[in-house]
């Protein structure tokens, strides 16, 4: 299936519609870091879809008499023209695939369930929620669209807004990238891991320790860019594919020792790429490392399969089975909260994907 598959027809008569969707954030276990235009990954990735960290977006589609597409964007009820450049380039990219949009003016209203400055990237959930609203309109115009086509194209559109957003449409585990052993996999969109997931992962916990709530010194856009001409890029892409193959086995077997080994390797490899870029940079903070050491000590002492992963930032995601919730949460409150900005952390867990609200 190539890009042309995603081009829909035009229509002559616009249909007014207001629709509202909620889409979750996701946390990559095998990391996507490095891409080519337009937002195509250099390696495959796999993530847990989250449940509580969500963006809710309402889109009002109104007929546009001027016949040139336009939009207004509100965040938490406030008009935000500063978001226009990013949204403009998103709409420019997707216009070709949804030509009917030229007949509309959009009023977009968005809000996040997580605190605005928490250091949690909201682009994945935001682009996924907006793409679901767009697909709802497409389904209204073309009712013959099947559920499979609907979700696939929503992921395709979300990817063009922010790569990792492709993985925020479905749950509980999604895969993005064509080199995976899964036949249905693609660079163009993400798909759900399917029904062979081991039961330990269906309610896996993710507690996000907010080590640094400020904005990052180096954006992920710049980070991806630095993978071009990176001395270790090719080895990294091979490593990610190997880790993904191993993780696909673990997702079915539920082998948590192997899970921990892959997930922590991936987190540290992502940050190793940052530290060896030209120019180099470090997004971890001293407290990130203190937490990692405490997690290792706790795991050694208790044999509880608690592990960590990192995004492109200083915050730490702690991953653990639901059956260990009580002991891990006590440990976090007593020993890790002290390393978080204002003692803040967020409880989340694996979720089922975007939904209409």
Which positions lie near ligand PMV, rule CB under 6 A? 28, 31-33, 45, 121, 123, 162-164, 220, 224, 270, 311-312
Nearest residue to 201 via CA among 256, 245, 277, 239: 256
Judged by DSSP in three states, 9 sits in coil
Tell me how far, at minimum, the Cβ of 320 lies from ligand PMV, in Å. Answer: 20
Distance separating alpha carbons of residues 32 and 105, to the nearest angstrom: 34
Q: Which CB, 32 or 104, lies closer to ligand PMV?
A: 32
CA 277 vs CA 221, 226, 230, 235: distances in Å = 14, 6, 6, 14
56: its two tokens: 């809710």
Q: Which CB, 91 or 100, lies closer to ligand PMV?
A: 91
Q: Which CB, 28 or 260, lies closer to ligand PMV?
A: 28
Q: Is 235 exposed, middle or buried (0-12, 13-18, 19+ CB in 10 A)?
A: exposed
Tell me how far, at minimum, the Cβ of 346 lies from ligand PMV, in Å. Answer: 17
Tell me how far, at minimum, the Cβ of 356 lies from ligand PMV, in Å. Answer: 24
Tell me how far, at minimum, the Cβ of 25 lies from ligand PMV, in Å. Answer: 10
Per-residue b or e along 151-162, where b marks 16 or more CB atoms closer than 10 Å to that residue's CB: bbbbbbbbbbbb
Q: Which CB, 19 or 122, lies closer to ligand PMV?
A: 122
Distance separating alpha carbons of residues 170 and 186, to the nearest angstrom: 15
Other C-beta atoms closer than 10 Å to the C-beta of 173 total: 23
Q: Is 60 exposed, middle or buried (0-12, 13-18, 19+ CB in 10 A)?
A: middle
Tell me how far, at minimum, the Cβ of 107 lies from ligand PMV, in Å. Answer: 26
Residue-by-residue DSSP string for 75-86: ETTEE-GGGHHH
Q: Which CB, 121 or 307, lies closer to ligand PMV?
A: 121
Q: Which CB, 19 or 174, lies closer to ligand PMV?
A: 174
Distance separating alpha carbons of residues 95 and 197, to the nearest angstrom: 36
Distance separating alpha carbons of residues 339 and 209, to the nearest angstrom: 8
Nearest residue to 42 via CA among 212, 270, 283: 270
Tell me how far, at minimum, the Cβ of 176 lies from ligand PMV, in Å. Answer: 8
Tell me how far, at minimum, the Cβ of 18 lies from ligand PMV, in Å. Answer: 28
Q: Which CB, 19 or 45, lies closer to ligand PMV?
A: 45
Tell me how far, at minimum, the Cβ of 189 lies from ligand PMV, in Å. Answer: 14
Q: Which CB, 19 or 309, lies closer to ligand PMV?
A: 309
Give the H/E segment covering residue 110.
strand 104-112
Q: Which CB, 121 or 340, lies closer to ligand PMV?
A: 121
How far, rounded to the nearest angstrom, does the alpha carbon of residue 186 sit from its chain's CA centroid? 16
Please give the backbone phi and psi of residue 8, each rounded to the nearest 5 degrees, phi first: -95, 175
Tell me how far, at minimum, the Cβ of 301 lies from ligand PMV, in Å. Answer: 30
């Amino acid at each position: 299936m190539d890009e042309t598959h995603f081009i829909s027809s035009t229509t002559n008569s616009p249909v007014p519609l207001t629709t509202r969707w909620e889409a979750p954030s996701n946390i990559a276990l095998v990391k996507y870091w490095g891409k080519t235009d337009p937002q195509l990954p250099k390696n495959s990735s796999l993530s847990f879809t989250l449940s509580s960290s969500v963006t809710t977006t309402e889109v009002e589609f109104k007929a546009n008499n001027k016949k040139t597409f336009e939009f207004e964007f509100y965040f938490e009820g406030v008009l935000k023209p500063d978001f226009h450049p990013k949204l403009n380039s998103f709409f420019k990219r997707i216009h070709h695939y949804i030509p009917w949009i030229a007949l509309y003016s959009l009023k977009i209203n968005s809000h996040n369930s997580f605190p605005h400055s928490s250091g949690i990237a909201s682009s994945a959930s935001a682009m996924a929620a907006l793409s679901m609203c767009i697909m709802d309109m497409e389904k209204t115009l073309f009712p013959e669209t099947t559920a499979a086509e609907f979700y696939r194209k929503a992921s395709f559109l979300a990817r063009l807004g922010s790569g990792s957003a492709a993985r925020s449409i479905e749950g509980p585990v999604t895969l993005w990238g064509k080199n995976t052993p899964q036949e249905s996999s693609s660079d163009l969109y993400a798909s759900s891991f399917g029904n062979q997931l081991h039961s330990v992962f269906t309610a896996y916990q993710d507690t996000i320790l907010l080590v640094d709530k400020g904005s990052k010194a180096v954006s992920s856009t710049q980070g991806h860019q630095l993978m071009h001409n990176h001395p270790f890029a090719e080895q990294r892409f091979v490593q990610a594919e190997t880790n993904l193959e191993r993780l696909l086995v673990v997702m079915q077997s539920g082998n948590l020792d192997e899970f921990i080994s892959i997930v922590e390797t991936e987190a540290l490899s992502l940050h190793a790429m940052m530290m060896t870029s030209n120019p180099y940079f470090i997004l971890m903070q001293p407290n990130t490392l203190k937490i990692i050491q405490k997690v290792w000590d706790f795991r050694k002492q208790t044999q509880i399969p608690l592990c960590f992963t990192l995004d492109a930032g200083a915050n730490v995601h702690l991953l653990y089975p639901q059956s260990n919730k009580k002991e891990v949460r006590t440990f976090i409150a007593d020993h890790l909260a002290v390393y978080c900005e204002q003692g803040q952390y967020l409880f989340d867990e694996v979720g089922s994907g975007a939904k209409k609200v």
